[in-house]
Every structure is written in structure tokens, then in C-alpha cells.
A and B are shown apart, each in its own frame.
Chain A
Amino acid sequence: MRRRYLAAAIPIGLIAMLALPSLAFGQDAAIDKLRASAATTDEALNTTWVVVAAVLVMFMQAGFLLLEVGFSRMKNVGAGVAKVIVNFSIASIAYWAIGFALAFGGTGELWGDSGFFLDVGSTASQAAQQFPILDIAPISPAALLFFQFVFCAVSLAIVWGTTLERIKFGAYVVYAIVFSALLYPIISHWIFGGGWLQANVGMQDFAGSTVVHLMGATGAFAALLLLGPRRGKYTADGKPRAIPGHSMPLVGLGVLILWLGWFGFNPGSTLGVFGDAAAGIGNRFAEIVLVTNLAAAAGVIAAVAVMYRARKTIDIGMAGNGAIAGLVAITAPSGYVEFWAAPIIGAVAGVIVVVGVLAIEKWIDDPVGALSAHGLAGVWGTLACGIFTAPRFAEFNGVGEGGLWYTGSFHQLGAQALGVGAAFAFVFVFSYGIFFLIKKTIGLRVTPDEEDAGLDISEHGMYGYPEAFIPAEEFSTGGVVPQPVSAPAVTATMASDRPSEA
């Protein structure tokens, strides 16, 4: 709406200038027009970057899909496809209708309360009144909503990787609605939208190590406690057994797509392209791209090295988990730290993810390692702000202060720990409650027979890889009679006598 008014204003202004040849009036109008166009150019540049970043983050859904499918057995691959597509769609509607208003509408300490269905005024100032974040980051409200929504969808996707191969489809649907309309928006209000953790405690979480990743992993943890392990994951005496996924190339492609998506995730959270040259702040979004990549690389190297030390193999899946852990850990500090801190944060995350996966596997069946890669690394990344945040970036972002390394004070670290604890407790309690209700009503888990047959055929009525399960003979239509090579050429008449294959 605003854009249309402004676009209309420019030709009207030009006509007015021509029609009224008063010199003084012409100058004023020209200056106003210049100011308006400078503001709109800035807004257009910022909005463009945010939309590009949001599209990159949306593509992470493909990454989650391939990662989960690759870590599944062949009888469960189709279920992952249906799940990601349907969940993304449910969350799209719920976040637009309710979630965004709770997350960013107004200045409440606990939740926002205005702008449902993105019902904003037609001018920039009206929109900024409803969504105060637009004062700091003047971009199109629609771009802001879409950008924040794709974060919500990432967080939701993390929940489901852990529940592969045994959860009922209906459970996704119920939790997806509650998660994207209520749970995620409330936490993101606390930490991104000017709620109590950001405004009063000064907790730093640039792009969501806690908001997005820890939250997803916490929901997953609650689900797993009620869901239990896959059949055959543990031997009679309680030892974990490997249930290998069917395709490591798909896992690798998934990891690389997530890695790519992260260049929208962290750098996009600048919500704009401008630094502050006077204060010695460069183009933050470009710098954050580099910070993000350094951490991911260090995560891979550390995870592979630790795994090699522990098991004497170059573990393929763990290389991918190392990348994700490094990326998750740098998500919170990405906007707050200097380049040198990024590889340290990523490498520590790479160690944490391997130790975490090996430890968690002993008692919880998490097929993709999300509890470690998103949960433990998310906690570490959030706490890392309290250690490595550079004072100049804390000032530029206007949240909290420098970390332990610079200030020698534990104050910021304490704020980070409080934020992690509060977010975990809130999400865990509510998620556990929702999954408990689901379990008591529609049921959380498929029957043992359905699990053995695979979710593809039992929940979706078809196989993700039909030819792996249905003998080729069953596909035959019986209409084609193979001819010996030496047989005489089939005449046109004979061919037309055959039953049609259509």
C-alpha cells in the first residue's frame, strides 16, 4: 500500500512543479521529493536483501527434506516428503494469521497483540506503530513477515527429524498449528521482538541459536520422551544398534543446501544492507556471510577429527552433523563477534555434536542427531555470545554488552544463560503437554505392524521408492509380447491387433 502511494506521489509532484511555476515552491517540492526518494531507495535496498535472504532460508526446507530422507530407510522416504511440504504450508497460514502479530505486534513484555493477518496501516509510520521493529529496520512489513516466517518453519522442521520412521502424520499437523501460531512467536517475541529477554535482560541472539534451533530441538526432546525409540534400535540388554539411513548422498546434499540457506539465515538477520561508516562498522551482512562460513568449516573439521579419534573412521554422517553444529552455534553470535572468534565457536560445536550424539544415543533414539546438532550446539552458540561478543557490535545492534573476553565480566554470560534456561523451560513444558494430549487422543505413534511395513505404505498408501518394494512383474500390463530377435518383422496389422497399452 505504502509503495503505491509513494509511486503515485512522484508523478503528481512532477506535474505540480510544472503547473505552478513559483520558484520557491518548486525548490521545496524538489527537496521533499529527494528526501522521499532517498528513504525509499534505502527501504527498497533493505527490502530486496531481506526477501533474497528469506528465499534462501525457505530453501532450507529442501535441505531438511533431503537430510531426513537420506537418514531414513527406504520404506519411510515418502513420509518425509509429505511431512515437510504439508508442515511448511500449515505454518505459512498460521504464522501469517496469528504468529507474526504475537511475535512483533507491539511492545508487550511477553507477547505482541496487534497486526493479525498483517493488518497494517497504509503508511510507513502506521506500520511502524504496530510493528516497532520497523522503526529500527525500515523494510516492507510483508518482507519482514515472510522472513520471520521462514525462520519459524526451520524451527518446526527441526522438531520432526528426530521422530522419523515411527510418528503418526496427524501428530505433525496438530503440533505444527500450535507451534507456528503460539509457541514459536512467543519465544521470538521475547528474544527478537522486544520482549523481556531482549529489552530487560539484554540477551543476545542474533539469528536464533536459541529462538530457532534450541527451540526446535526442545520440542523434539519432548516428543521423543513420549514417542520412544524405533523398533530394533536397542537390543534386549539395552545396547544401541545402528539403523543406517538409505542414502548418504542425499544427506550430503541436504547438509550443503542447509549450509547455503544459512547465508540467508544469519546475514539476512541484519534486516538491511547498510553499515555505519562513521562508527567504523562495515557492511555487516557481507561480514556475517564470512563469519558463518568460517564457523561451519571449523565445525566439520573438528567433528571429523574427534570422530576419527573415537572410532578410527572418517564418519560421513558426522561430517554433516559437524557442519550443522558449527552453523547452529554461530547463529546467535554471528552479528556480534569478530572474524577470529568464528572458527573457535564452530570448532567447539563440532566437538560438542560428536560427544553429544554418542552420549544421547545410549538412551534416546534420535535418527538425525538433531538434539546434539541443534540443541547442544544451540546452547553453546547462545552462551558463546557471553564470551566473544565484541563491544562495538553490541553497541551497533543495541542489545546487551561485550562478552567475558573483552570486559572480564560475567554479566552478559549470565544474561545468555538466563535466556537459554527460560526458553528451554517454556518450550519444553508446553511441548510436552501438547504431545501428551496428542498421545492420549489421536495417538502419537503408529502400530508395530505399521512401523515394520514402513510409514510410506501404512500412512500414505504408497511407496516412496515403489520399484524397491513391488516386483517388476506387478507393473506389467500383460499387453506386450516379447519377440525373439530372429522373428520376422512385425507387420502393421499385427501391431494394431495388440491390446492398447493406454
Chain B
Amino acid sequence: MKKIEAFIRHEAFEPIRSELLDRGFPSLSISEVKGSGRQKGIVETYRGSSLTVNVRPKLKIEVVIEDKDKSLVVETILKHARTGDVGDGKIFVLPVEEAIRIRTGEEGETVLQAHTDAEIAA
């Protein structure tokens, strides 16, 4: 199992989420993060004085997937998150040792499977 951590622009999130859902990856987490990189900070001018803000807001997406799905998910993120300008963000791929669904206690890759419609209805 792998965990994909991607730092992206806010605007890229919605198309990524809907395409991952279409491709069968409904589960993901996001966090609003702020950080610095090669993208320049912004200067805020407040009543004539200025304040440089060096960290910029980004969105962090976390998805855990089976090894075989790695390139599919990475490509989906690249497709929507790349504008070509500095500040598009980064993707990190990490190994995952275990996965446990809390409700049932199931372990392993089965936890990553999307629910079937029948399961959701039940």
C-alpha cells in the first residue's frame, strides 16, 4: 500500500476529487496548510506600511491506495494541478504498513476498496 501526499493549489482540488471518485477512489483527506517554497511571498500594505507574508496557503491531499494504483492517482493529480507556474506544489509517495477499518476491524487492502452500492444502501 502507498500513501500519496500532494500539496496543491486550492483551485485544483475539485477536479481532482471528482476524477478520483469517477475512477473508484472515493476516500481522501484534505488539510489547509501554509508553507514556503520557491513561490514568492506576498506583500500586504496596511495604511502605508507593509508586511511581507512569506508562507502561502496550500491544500494537502492524502490518499492511501494499493501499489498498482499509484501511477493512476499521481497522473490524475498532475493533470489537474499543473499550471506550469512556480507554486503548483509537490507530490510525495510514502509506503504504508497497515490499514484497519475501525468500524469492522478489517485489515489490509480490503479496507481501501470503495463500498458497493449495496453496502451503502444497507
Contact = CB atoms under 8 A, between A and B. Distances in A.
B46 interface: yes
A471 B44 contact: no
A12 interface: no
A220 B42 CA distance: 33
Interface residues of A, number: 12
Contacts of B55: 471, 473-474
A282 B11 CA distance: 61
A452 B44 contact: no
Contact of A457 (B10, B34, B42, B54): B42
Contacts of A452: 10-11
A461 B45 contact: yes
A470 interface: yes
Given A452-B11, A474-B54, A474-B55, A466 B42 contact: no
B57 interface: yes
Q: Which of B44, B45, B46, B51 has the most CB of A within 10 A?
A: B44
A211 B45 CA distance: 40
B53 interface: yes
B118 to A, nearest CB: 29
A463 interface: yes
B44 A457 contact: yes
Interface residues of B, number: 13
A462 B53 CA distance: 11
A5 interface: no
Interface string B39-53: 000111110000101
B36 to A, nearest CB: 10
B88 to A, nearest CB: 13
B57 A469 contact: yes
Contacts of B34: 471
Q: Which of B10, B11, B43, B53 has the most CB of A within 10 A?
A: B53
Nearest to A453: B42
Nearest to A466: B44
A461 B44 contact: yes
Interface in A421-463: 452, 457, 461-463
Nearest to B10: A452
Contacts of A475: 51
B44 A470 contact: yes
Contacts of A474: 51, 53-55
A462 B11 contact: no
Q: Which secondary structure dominates chain A's binding surface? A: helix
Interface string B82-97: 0000000000000000
Contact of A470 (B10, B11, B45, B53): B53
Interface string B53-70: 111010000000000000
Interface string B5-25: 000001100000000000000
Contacts of B43: 461
A74 to B, nearest CB: 12
A462 B55 CA distance: 15
A469 B34 CA distance: 10
Nearest to B44: A462
Given A471-B34, A474-B51, A462 B45 contact: yes
Nearest to A461: B45
A470 B43 CA distance: 11
A270 B55 CA distance: 58
A473 B41 CA distance: 14
B46 A466 contact: yes
Nearest to A474: B53
Interface string A171-214: 00000000000000000000000000000000000000000000
Contacts of A466: 44, 46
Contacts of A469: 53, 57
B46 to A, nearest CB: 5
Contacts of B42: 457
Contacts of B45: 461-462
A452 B10 CA distance: 9
Nearest to B43: A461
A197 to B, nearest CB: 47
A115 B46 CA distance: 42
Interface in A383-405: none
A118 to B, nearest CB: 34
A222 B34 CA distance: 40
Interface in A472-494: 473-475
A452 B42 CA distance: 15
Nearest to A456: B44
Nearest to B55: A471
Interface of A: 452, 457, 461-463, 466, 469-471, 473-475
Q: Ordered nearest first, which 3 A-B pairs have the shortest CB separation?
A: A461-B45, A462-B44, A462-B46
22 contacts: A452-B11, A457-B42, A457-B44, A461-B43, A461-B44, A461-B45, A462-B44, A462-B45, A462-B46, A463-B44, A466-B44, A466-B46, A469-B53, A469-B57, A470-B44, A470-B51, A473-B55, A474-B51, A474-B53, A474-B54, A474-B55, A475-B51
